[in-house]
């Protein structure tokens, strides 16, 4: 009887060992597949869905940990959810990339007219400031302070416009348009203060 129990235990151990060994390769493959899938979209994911990427990296690290401890079953159990998460992340990143590209296209369209308008506004303001600076007396609607403020405002506008233009040159039209609009608003304010808008 004792002999039979020993044989049974030995047989069970053998089955267990074979079972574990047979799960090792699939678990290793599951981790490799997950890493490969993540690395294929890592750059885009880092840019558009960094939180999701961080979560998935943590899950892969956890799977590697389990693998190192020999818990191949845990790795295989986690694999389907990990695969789904990676697929979801890839889709989310792709959608956000498409959104960003559309927004950039819109901004590029808006930049066109702005890039000719603002320099003309600045020229008109500069011309008026130059004229008023030659004047022996200022007109009633323009005080000394208003003229001084317009001069320093004009310097700010030129600097703001340089920043906007640099952004456009580097292809960042979204930033260019935001800065360009701020420049235009400031220039409009100056024109108004000098009585140029009638």
Partner 1 sequence: MADEKTPAGDNPYTQTHVVQSGDTLSKIAQKYYGDASLYKQIFEANRDVLKDPNKIFPGQKLKIP
Residues that bind partner 1 (CB under 8 A): 117, 119-125, 127-128, 131-132, 134-140, 142, 158, 161, 191, 195-198
* Minimum distance from residue 131 beta carbon to partner 1 (Å): 5
Q: What is the distance between the alpha carbons of residues 152 and 139, in angstroms, rounded to a whole number? A: 19
* Minimum distance from residue 113 beta carbon to partner 1 (Å): 11
* Minimum distance from residue 173 beta carbon to partner 1 (Å): 19
Q: What is the distance between the alpha carbons of residues 123 and 140, in angstroms, rounded to a whole number? A: 23
Q: Are 139 and 195 in contact (CB under 8 A)?
A: yes
Please, which residue, 3 or 134, has the CB nearer to partner 1? 134
Measure Cα distances from 57 to 35, 68, 185 in Å: 9, 16, 45
* Minimum distance from residue 192 beta carbon to partner 1 (Å): 12
Task: Indicate left, alpha or beta for 195 from its phi (over 0: left) and psi (-120 to 50: alpha).
Answer: left
Q: Alpha carbon 91 to chain centroid distance? A: 16
Q: Are 90 and 42 in contact (CB under 8 A)?
A: no
Q: What is the distance between the alpha carbons of residues 164 and 180, in angstroms, rounded to a whole number? A: 5
Q: Is 57 helix (H, G, I), strand (E, B) or coil?
A: helix
Please, which residue, 22 or 135, has the CB nearer to partner 1? 135
Please, which residue, 57 or 189, has the CB nearer to partner 1? 189
* Minimum distance from residue 104 beta carbon to partner 1 (Å): 25
Neighbours of 153 (CB within 10 A): 19
């Amino acid at each position: 009887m004792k002999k039979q129990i020993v044989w049974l235990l030995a047989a069970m151990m053998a089955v267990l060992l074979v079972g574990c060994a047979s799960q090792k390769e699939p678990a290793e493959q599951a981790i490799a597949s997950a890493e490969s899938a993540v690395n294929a979209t890592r750059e885009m994911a880092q840019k558009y869905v960094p939180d999701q990427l961080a979560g998935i990296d943590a899950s892969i690290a956890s799977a590697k940990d389990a693998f190192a401890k020999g818990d191949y079953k845990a790795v295989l159990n986690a694999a389907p959810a990990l695969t789904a998460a990676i697929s979801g992340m890839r889709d989310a990143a792709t959608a956000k990339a498409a959104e960003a590209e559309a927004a950039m296209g819109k901004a590029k369209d808006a930049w066109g007219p702005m890039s000719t308008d603002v320099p003309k506004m600045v020229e008109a303001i500069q011309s008026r400031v130059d004229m008023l600076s030659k004047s022996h007396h200022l007109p009633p609607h323009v005080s000394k302070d208003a003229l001084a403020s317009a001069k320093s405002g004009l310097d700010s506008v030129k600097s703001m416009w340089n920043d906007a233009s640099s952004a456009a040159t580097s292809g960042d039209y979204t930033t260019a348009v935001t800065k360009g609009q701020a420049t235009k608003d400031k220039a409009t304010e100056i024109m108004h203060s000098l009585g140029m808008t009638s």
